[in-house]
Structures are given as C-alpha cells and as structure tokens.
Structure 1
Amino acid sequence: MSADYAHLCSAIVEQCFGKVSQSVTDCLFSATTRTLSQIANATKFSRKEVGLALSVLIKFRLVNFEASKLNPFVPEYSLRRPDILCLLRYPRYIHMVQTKYGNVGASIAEELINAGSDTASAILIKCLSEGETKADGAESHRNTFLQMITDHYIIKRPELILSEEQDEVLPKFESNECDYFRHPNVDLQLIEKIRKGEATLAEAGDSAMIWNINYDRFHQDFRDSIMIDSIERKLGENASECFRFILKIMYKTTDPWQRVETFQPNHFCGY
C-alpha cells in the first residue's frame, strides 16, 4: 500500500508541478526529514533547482520545514503526504463553493487554489476581470471573500516573525488559532489604484496576511453530506433535517474532528 501511495503522490506532483518537484517529493516521501543538501545529493539536481521546487511546495502547503536538532542554522524539510491527495479534490472544492456563493465565490476559490496561498488583495485583483471597473463588482468580491473566511472555507496561514537576533537565520511562524479567521483590511480604493498601475500590492494593508483553502472545512462538509444522505435514504427527509440540525448545534460546542473515545465497560456497569 505504501508503495502505491508513493507512486500516486509522485504522479500527482509531477502533473501539477513538474519533474524537479516530483523528484523532491519522492526524496522526502522516503524519509522523515531531509536538509537541502541531502535532497540535492539524492535527486542530482542543483541546490538552486531544489530550492525553487521546495519554495513552490511550501507555498502550496505540501512541505513543512523547521530547524535541525543537530544544527539550528540548517532547515530540515518534511512532506505533508495527506495534503498531496487534496490536489485531486480541487474540482470538488470549486463546485461546492459555487453552489454556496455563486460564480464570484468559485472564481475566488479557483484563484486561491491556483496561487496556493496569497493575500486577499492579490486574489481579488486577479478575480476582477478587465471589464469589471465598477465599485460594486469589487465590493461583491470582497464581501464574498470575507464571508468565506467567516464560514471557515478560507484560513489564514501563520504569520512570519521577524527576529531581531542576527544569529537566527531561519524564519519562524506564529500560529494563533484565534487569528485564523480574522478579517483582513481590504481597501477597495487601493485595489482600484493597483489595477490602474497607480499603486503596488506592497502598499496594501493586508500584505502580511496570507490565506489558503481550508481543507478540513470542505472535508467536514463532504463527510456530513454522506451521513445526511444516508439517513434520508433510510429514515426519510424529516430525520435527515433533524440530524443536520444536531450537527449544526454540535459544532458550536465541540471540535468537528475530535476523536471519539471507545466506551470501555467495567464492573460498575454490571458487565
């Protein structure tokens, strides 16, 4: 099974990102962590080629990195294997967003998927076509983007921490769960200036907030849809609506991906 899994991941990465990224993925798949030099030696590609491939894979959240335990100045890279399979589900993600938010939501999801991760301003600029010069078109895109964040279909990536210590050469990221779905400050007037070439993205107030698709939220909807459809087939429409309401209430108080502990009977229960 692991061999088939490795071949599948390799084929997906090759089709999406090319041969160099495929070789890097194959190298990381066979090891827990590896440094840039180890990957370059194993793949026979130059350090520059491997570095570019790693930057792409990191942007698409397929590779993680952290400081080596042996040498804190050297990063070690690891592969996020389950997220590679999510590349196959991109059409389903876009279709689900389209059913909930219309064509505007679908264009936002498609641009965000193609970019891997980006700022809200950059995604909105890409979504707005040349013919959409009216402010209401930009406002509609912004409101849809913010609503997708509120509904947790888009999640903010950890922010880069700039260290004042010169000895630290590896970037660090701050992860705050309370900050995952905080709305960015999107200036529509500035976006219009950027589209006209009168300003740059660096001037946007949300340049430090990077967003990507929240896989868990989509998979939660897929899972719930399967259960609701099954209950409707077995017990009817009223039962399925009741179960849908129970799920909605449950998610307000518990983690939707919390593991369920198996009940262990004991002598106090009379077993």
Structure 2
Amino acid sequence: MNSPFETLVRTALTDVADEASPVDLTSRALGLARRRRRTAAITLAAAAVAAVLVGAPLAITAADRDTPPAAVTSSAPAPAPSASPADRGEQLLAAVRGAITREAPQVTGLETLVRYMDVCELVTSASGKLMPKDGLISQAPYEASAVPQACPPPWGNDPHSYRWLGRFAKNGKVYAVTIHIYPTVHHDPADPPVNETDARERELAAQGENPPYRGPHGEHVLVHDYLLNMTKPGGIGVLIECHDTDETGAFMTRSPFTRTELAAIGLDPALRP
C-alpha cells in the first residue's frame, strides 16, 4: 500500500504528465541549444522523482538524456586521493545538507535525500557498437558495488557525477527536490563569446526576463523560484530542481527556497565533484 506521500507524489506527477506543456526553462533567456539541454534535465529529474520516491520504473532514451559534457579540470580542486566515489558521495551529501541548513534553516526533510544511479543493459548494435538495449537508461537507488556493471560511461554513470532525490518541507508543503553535482564545461559570463552560437545565446539571454548572471568568482548562474542551474570555474555543475507536490498544481512555480537561498547554496565552495 502506498504511503500518503507516495500517493501525493504519484498524483502530482501524473497531473503534470497529463496537463503540463513543455517548459522553456530559460524563459527565452538562452538559445535553442541550451533550452533543449535544460528541458531534458528537468524531464529526467521529474521522472526520476517518481521512480525513486514512489517506486515506479523509469526509462529514458540514451539519445534524450542530458549527459554533461566532459569536465574542464585545469583549475578544479581535486578531492582527497583517499576518497572513493562512494566516500566522496557521502562527503558531498554532508556538504549539501550543511549548505542548505546554513542558507535555509526553515527547510526540513534533508535526511530524506537518497543518491541514485543509472541502470542499463548493454548490447551490440547492428553497426557493431556497444549501446544500451533499445536505447533505454533507467534509474535506481545507488549501490556502490553495482555501479561498475549498472551502466558504465559514456552511456550512464560518471564516477564524478553525484545525484540525490529527496522530499523537503516548508510551511506545511512538501517538495520533491533533485540535487546534481557533476563535471561540465564552464564559461565565465565576463569572457568574450567563444563562437557565434554563444554570442547569439548571450544576446537572447540579455533580452530575457530572468537572464543568467555572473557570480562573485566567475560562476554562471541561472536561478528561478524552482531551479538553480550553475556552472563554476574548473568545470563544476550544480543543478537543484524543486517540484511542488501539491496536487492542485503549481508545478515548477513554487519551491522551499528563495532565489537568493538557491544561489547561495550553489555557491558553497564545498559543492564540487
């Protein structure tokens, strides 16, 4: 039998699937390429919330998943050599909880955060390449011993990518929250555009109602009431997504955090792969 929360999450996510139209995460702030990546990330996170918190199976196509680009590591601080990926995950989880407690002490439920991983079955395609069977990648709670066989890179688990799902509460409301810390490509917003596409995306961003901005140390910060999408110097990505589980709606409009709190959490220097 489902718990009241599982029923609530299942109802909310079903309503979204039935009624919500695709969301332009950047509010016309970024170009088409970035909009596609952001939309894919939100779609994955919403489905993963249902899979891990409610227990429903999840499958996405390998072509559609939002795989972070290769990391730019020239200035990224390296984790302690003795830390295994599992140990590093525990360190990061403690850092995430610490940042949230400091910046948003009114938010509860941090103990519900659960790490998850990709799962797939690799087969040889007609062209002789190894690929996920039927192009599908699933999500499951993280098990360190299962990671090497679960879904290896480049299709699935990056050993330096960490993802958690949880349910937070504030003022009597419950929110499904996804937190993802991963290697990615970073561009300081103060630097010149790297190409014409980048220049056009910046032009569109400047015309948006809520464009990205430069953080105190060159971070690229895009923040909405329900979303933080930040990249940091050294090739570090921090993604926090909040989904209101209120069955009356408000998907992607309410959050247990303010924009200021979300940005401050992401800027914590301890949040790095």
TM-score category, normalised to shorter length:
under 0.3
Higher relative contact order (CA 8 A, sep 6+): 2
TM-score (norm 2): 0.25
Larger Rg: 1
Q: Which structure's residues are more often strand, by fraction? A: 2
Q: Which structure's residues are more often helix, by fraction? A: 1
